[in-house]
Amino acid sequence: MNQFTTTLQYFVVITAELTLLFLGISTLVALMLAYIPQEKLRQWLSRRGVWGNFLGTVVGSLTPFCACSTIPMTLGMLNAGAPFGPVMSFVIASPLLNPIIISMIWVLMGFEACLLYFTVTFAGSMLFGIFLEKAGGANHVKNVRIKQACCSGPVDHQNLPPATFMEKLKAAFISAWGDFRGVLIYLLIGVGIGAVIYGYIPQEFVIRVAGPDNPFAIPIAAVIGVPLYIRAETAIPIGLALSQKGMSMGAVIALIIGGAGMAIPEMAMLASIFKKRLVAAMVAVIWTTAVVGGYAFSTIF
């Protein structure tokens, strides 16, 4: 009964915290994007060289689109002649630097963990965007077109009539609420799994399998994250519960990066516009980022 009470309490508290975080951060991001024309985002992604990769990563971190909005935007940029490297930095950064993930890590795991996660994933998105371009990845883009995204995605506010701040704020909250309803089931699944881990899995077992003394915990965790996380919002509560049970912080971060960056739905959609070799290269890139980030966390913490 004590275990059940602890599990239920964990579920209720974490669900409430994540709900407030998701709605608050999503509203703020949607409000910010209301003042940034989509054409401006396209101009940033059209820059060449290292500066272009930097801006591509920034745009990816500012745009928490679902995969079915990110992929058409990516293909549209490539069809419009945008440099391949910055677009790839955008594709890699978009799931990894999702503002919702960043805020959740900050609140639940601390500022230092959040800062190191952001630094590793930001640098990885830039560097691997440059690498994929130099390796000839542009030759592995399929000649396809996607006419319409399957969810709302970004809105071009240049074509909307002028609105007051309160009207924009209301529209931003409505957009955030719609996004929240779309991910609620995944968030509850993640919190539920995390609650069961927190309440019922012995701490000694977690420490033995994925504790700081297991040198292979980090690369294994990066691989396990791929099928485990259907949505990135599922990752945080599971990672939090595992860390509280003794899993090394490096393995937790590798799990989150692997799951957020290599989510199966996004990889499937990428396969529709990229050839298999390029998709495999992106999976290897994200797995490498997860492992490097995990070992960096283990070293620093």
pLDDT band of 126, cuts 50, 70, 90: very high
pLDDT at residue 140 greater than cutoff 90: no
- The predicted-structure confidence for 213-227, as pLDDT tens digits, reads as follows 787 888 888 887 766
* Choice between 84 and 62, residue whose per-residue pLDDT is larger: 84
DSSP H stretches of helix in the chain: 2-33, 38-45, 49-62, 67-79, 84-96, 99-109, 111-134, 165-200, 203-210, 217-228, 235-244, 249-261, 264-270, 276-300
- The predicted-structure confidence for 28-51, as pLDDT tens digits, reads as follows 877 877 777 666 766 776 777 788
Residue 54 · residue 256 · CB < 8 Å: no
Residue 154 · residue 69 · CB < 8 Å: yes
Of residues 230, 170, 232, 201, the one with CA closest to residue 18:
232
d(CA 226, CA 63): 22
pLDDT at 72: 67
- The predicted-structure confidence for 196-219, as pLDDT tens digits, reads as follows 887 777 777 777 777 777 878 888
pLDDT at 123: 92
The predicted model gives 114-128 an average pLDDT of: 89
d(CA 152, CA 23): 16
pLDDT band of 122, cuts 50, 70, 90: very high
Query: pTM of whole model > 0.85?
Result: no
